[in-house]
Structure 1
């Protein structure tokens, strides 16, 4: 696959373009670098931030860490799906993660901070990679767990991963949501596209 056709590389380009735009806007008026890009309640006031916040980042370090994490998982997941499905999954999981963060977070704090960044979407890819591979299929197939038991495993494992990513200023609810959705999507194989290439050489399903 040519790099220009890689949805992972395309997503990285989107990260870079939005970050440059944020930087330019920040020079004009620093406050706009957050208010025009970050998802914050009420969402209806700035609805464009719902998708835009997924590709926005607080600073270069934030961008770099998400970019590295995206490459490690994205290049594997994209081998078994289409470009359209990859992007649809990424933006959907990212937006859902952001919404959970601002809505649920707002229940506990009336001054819930704005959310921006691709962490929820990226963790969705990792959840998919973990749950949608042949090894996981074999393990779950042998254990024959009930749906309730599988749900408990998803919640427990997602909680563990979320706590491992905990740090000041981190959107933990977004991380939890993204990884959980990725695990469920992986078990359902919603990104899988059966072709001769993926049947013969497949890392995840």
Structure 2
């Protein structure tokens, strides 16, 4: 659980720094918002920052459920790179696509990456691989199936104030990368 615990350590440190910055009104410096080009560092910092202690706790519990299972199949470096990349992509999807349908608030949290880790586990296991090999779905059909699964996973876990687009984008990234076993050591 080394990489998972390291990730939780980073989240905790950022949480402490965020709390200190909130005293002087600067907690927003970690939040990702559109346009991303104004504060590009927030693609990374927003993954580790959270809106509240309960937000951090919920994401930490979810990370503890899926992180160690992915971690057993990959290296520490790949794990951390995947968390940053999938979480960043999920956040960018949220502020970009969310902005198309209305005001897109800033986003914070590691949940997009947690959904990606869960999607990776779902699509990258031996049972799913065997099933896909037998079904012989075209890449386009797999793409559509993964998009549908990502939407269903997001809707099942939806709650008010949650970054639904980020969750769906994270799950989709995880499903696609799990299918090709991008993180596996072999």
SS at match of 1:169: coil
Any residues of structure 2 matched to 1:75-90 within 5 Å, and which? Answer: 75-90=68-83
Of the three residues 80, 91, 98, the one matched with 2:91 is 98
TM-score by length of 2: 0.96
CA distance in 1, matches of 2:165, 2:4: 24
Gaps of 5+ in 2: none
Alignment of 1:19 with 2:12, yes or no, is no
Q: Which has the larger radius of gyration?
A: 1
Alignment of 1:174 with 2:166, yes or no, is yes
Deviant stretches of 4+, over 3 Å: none
Residue aligning to 1:199: none
SS at match of 1:36: helix
Residue aligning to 1:191: 183
Gaps of 5+ in 1: 195-205
Alignment of 1:59 with 2:52, yes or no, is yes
CA distance in 2, matches of 1:184, 1:127: 8
SS at match of 1:85: helix
When the two structures are aligned, how many residues end up with a matched partner? 186
Residue aligning to 1:198: none
SS at match of 2:85: helix
Residue aligning to 1:10: 6
TM-score by length of 1: 0.88
Alignment of 1:74 with 2:67, yes or no, is yes
* TM superposition shift of 1:41: 1.3
SS at match of 1:177: helix
Of the three residues 122, 130, 152, the one matched with 1:130 is 122
* TM superposition shift of 1:72: 0.8
